[in-house]
Amino acid sequence: MTASFDRFRWYYRRLRAMRPAEVALRLGRNLRNIRDRLGVAPSDNALLGDLEATTVEAFFAEHRFLFEPGDRETYVERYQRHLPDERNDLLRRVDEVLEGRFRLFGGEPVPLGAPLDWHRDPETGEAWPLAFWTQLHPNFAGCGEARTIWEVGRQGYLYDLGKAAWLTGDERAAEAARSHIDSWIEQNPPLHGIHWFSPLECAIRIVAWTFTLHWLRESSALDDAFLRRCLTSIARQATFIAENISRFSSTNNHTIGEAVGLLTAGVILPGSPRAESWRDTGRELLEQVLPEQMHRDGVPVEQAFHYATFLLDWSIFGLRLGEQNDIDWSPRYRGALSMLGGFFQSVLPEGGALPAIGDSDDGFALGLLGGNDRPGPAALNLCAAWARRTDWVRPHEPVDEKTLWLLGNDSVDWLRGVEAARPATGLTTMRMGGYTVHRGRVDESEEFLLFDHGPMGMPPLRGHGHADALQICLSLGGEALLVDPGTYRYHRGGVWRDYFRGLRAHNTASLDLENPFSPLGPFQWGDGIDGRVELAWHQDGIVRLKGAHDAWQVAGIAGTHSRWVLRLEPGIWLVIDRIEDSRKSIVQHFHLGSGRVSAGENGWLLRGRRGGLLRLTAQVGAEARRVSGDPGGAGGWSSPRFGVLEPAETIQVWGEPGQDVVATLLQLGPAAEESKVRVDLLWEDDQRSARVRLGESVWHAALA
């Protein structure tokens, strides 16, 4: 009864987010799905055309790809020169796959056996039913986390097998790639099973198979019969995408991936009667949707930094494949890619990783990064090499494989030849997207602070957004000291899905440990917590930031939440939170990076694993509590990658009930060693300034 009610409630809320045109579209799709389920779909002749008679020679003669057989020796040479360690890492990963062990979400190899059972969940061992795809739903099925079995079904390891076959002539890898594609086709009849549930999964597979076919071009593993089986399945998956594209309230990063899948199928399958339609639809969607997926300042509208790398990879690959096959791209599309590059340049700390803002499933559109586990720097590398922007090239960042395969040999030569410069210091505010970034110096290390004052994901569903309004992330010398704890899970997350999306899992403030609003499902919110910036000022090393949101007021619990983030001098920050008309305790949450935490008379000290120091000192009268792995979900948890839940260190600063303001001092680097610290927050001039005493020093902090 409860499960049925939850399903009804989910569908009801989902329906409320739709406009009439979307309802009509979905009704039409449902009628077609009934037809397909009854087995009265059009014959394969209308879909396949000449594909069943194609040959390997004819296939490669009808289109151009990103690399050709004649390029192999130069790629081998670039690997030896720019990626000397990657060849051995590649062969090690290939051996793992040959042994039936697979890396999921960047973790250690997991034994899944050979041949693979494509319907058995890697975590639970339960088998997903081979039912018609509309009879399945990842939100309610009890077989496991759909995203986990999809990670296997994306076959990202094919990139390693294909590269090894092409670069080293390893026929074992080539035969394994063929075997895995054949196995997937055999066990996944069209429109049946969990791997046919999502058009995005089909798109990811189409692109993976396309790269693999081109890497196997000179291998004996690629013959006419295998090629025809592969192309027939690609055509069927492209048809599924075309009939189920994510549009209207579902338009998001999935739409970009589906467009690239259609474009790819249209380019490589000219023998199909539908190829021209796929190609044109894919190009038109990319041209339209990519600019719509970004605010005018380049921030992705989903407010999820990981998915920005997803957008970038798809869009660059689509552009490059189109260019190779006489497709022209508009200045608007290229301009959107440039804006995306500017976004990565702004939010990526020097020598560090992307802050984990919003959802992340640790998946990739393209499996081209190999063993590189730093997608943020790789994204900036790709943007810099594509746009030839020398100011986007970071010192000491290694060249990565993705840039090589997407942009060609010249791109890595260019990156290696650029005299890189450190990012400029100062303040950057992206008002539409809702982030302000400060870059400063503490000694010779970059002091990086990101202040989140933007919208909570993309309306109407806000599916990948978190309740992170007014959050700060802080790093020193590339080491993250205040972090966003991550995502954990999607469909099987349960209360933990809600926890990692809630206020107390972010470096912001709450009332007690509550949220003003609750999620309506794994990918849906009702009301959102949308921030705004009211002050962003800096001069002579002093920084004054103020943001606010009205979610507590909308929920009828309290008034406006205002947050001031003040840089008093290099390495010293003051964070002040005021929530008007509150009868509860204001709680500031500070999620610490990896390292050792110790207590002293003047606050909590984090000694980071890379040597960074951060001291947190609560104002007089507030209580600073250390929380780690609280079983009740009060705090102290981290998800370093998808599906992993670990205890972590959190400092919660509690104000007294009814007290409407709480402040905490943050000291970085050498300043954190200061032993005599006392934070007295005294409001002056009708709350337009505050006075802070630290030992013998006194700061007068202007708040307006």
CA distance 546 to 690: 14
- Residue 115, amino acid: P
pLDDT value for 53: 83
User: Please, is 685 exposed, middle or buried when counting C-beta atoms within 10 Å of its C-beta (0-12, 13-18, 19+)?
Assistant: exposed
Beta partners for residue 561, in sequence order = 549, 579
* Residues shown for the chain: 704
583 compared with 316, residue with greater pLDDT: 316
- Residue 33, amino acid: N
Angle at 48 between CA 46 and CA 49, to 5 degrees: 75
* Residue 19: band (very low, low, confident or very high) from pLDDT cuts 50, 70, 90: confident
* Terminal C-alpha separation, the chain: 55
> What are the pLDDT digits (tens) for 385-430?
999 999 999 988 888 899 999 999 899 999 989 988 899 999 999 9
CA distance 520 to 461: 9
SS3 content of the chain, % helix, strand, coil (to 5): 40, 20, 40
pLDDT value for 631: 92
Which helix (H) or strand (E) covers residue 80, if one does?
helix 72-82
- CA 663 vs CA 97, 153, 449, 561, 653: distances in Å: 52, 49, 17, 13, 8
Average pLDDT in the 455-474 region?
94
pLDDT value for 675: 62
Strands (E), 529-585: 532-539, 542-549, 561-569, 572-579
> What are the pLDDT digits (tens) for 270-304?
889 999 999 999 999 999 999 999 999 999 999 99
Q: Edge to edge, what strands does the sheet with 623-628 contain?
A: 509-511, 586-591, 649-654, 623-628
Q: Give how far the C-alpha of residue 570 lies from the chain's centroid of Cα atoms, to the nearest Å.
A: 31
CA distance 542 to 701: 10
In the block, tokens 């999921």 appear at 104
CA distance 321 to 323: 5
How many CA atoms are closer than 13 Å to the CA of 429, on its beta-carbon side?
14
> What are the pLDDT digits (tens) for 355-370?
999 999 998 999 998 7
113 compared with 152, residue with greater pLDDT: 152
- CA 308 vs CA 252, 356, 464, 468: distances in Å: 11, 11, 12, 17
Average pLDDT in the 577-594 region?
94
pLDDT value for 326: 96
